[in-house]
């Protein structure tokens, strides 16, 4: 399920949530998406950042799952090139970083200007396309 290095663009973590989950949960489900960006294989931690941190705190491996069918349906209608541009250009609250080290992924700092800006809301494309 994990191909290449695990990366994310979400750094925000509520430490109280993490501690609570580490004590209560037995399974820590996280959603990931393997993708090649600028010629490098990565796996993006898409959902479950608190679960990932809680698993680490509990000393167990997270339960990696593929992204939801809804998200897969949205991105499967794009070409590989459009998908790459979408992921490079749309970050959450930080630049992409390696989840294990926190180090910024330098190769993904600059935007991808070769594709149109796209946004998806309410099950339809609202820009680009």
Would you state the pLDDT for residue 118?
55
pTM value is: 0.86
pLDDT at residue number 119: 54
At 51 the three-state DSSP class reads helix
Q: What is the pLDDT of residue 129?
A: 47
- 114: pLDDT confidence band, cut at 50, 70 and 90? confident
CA distance 50 to 29: 10
List the beta strands (DSSP E) in the chain.
Answer: 5-8, 29-37, 40-47, 63-66, 97-98, 119-121, 124-127
**What local confidence, expressed as pLDDT, does residue 125 receive?**
47
Instruction: Dump pLDDT digits (tens) for 27-51.
Output: 999 999 999 999 999 999 999 999 9
Residue 66 has pLDDT above 80, yes or no: yes
């Amino acid at each position: 399920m994990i191909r290449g290095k695990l990366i994310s663009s979400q750094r925000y973590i509520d430490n109280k949530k993490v501690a609570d989950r580490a004590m209560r949960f037995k399974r820590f489900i996280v959603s990931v998406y393997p993708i090649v960006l600028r010629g490098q294989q990565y796996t993006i931690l898409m959902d479950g950042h608190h679960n990932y941190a809680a698993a680490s705190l509990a000393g167990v491996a997270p339960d990696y799952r593929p992204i939801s069918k809804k998200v897969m349906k949205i991105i499967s209608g794009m070409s590989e090139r459009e998908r790459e541009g979408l992921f490079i250009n749309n970050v959450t609250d930080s630049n992409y970083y390696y989840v294990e080290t926190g180090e910024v992924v330098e190769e993904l700092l600059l935007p991808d200007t070769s594709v149109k800006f796209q946004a998806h809301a309410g099950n339809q494309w609202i820009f680009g396309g």
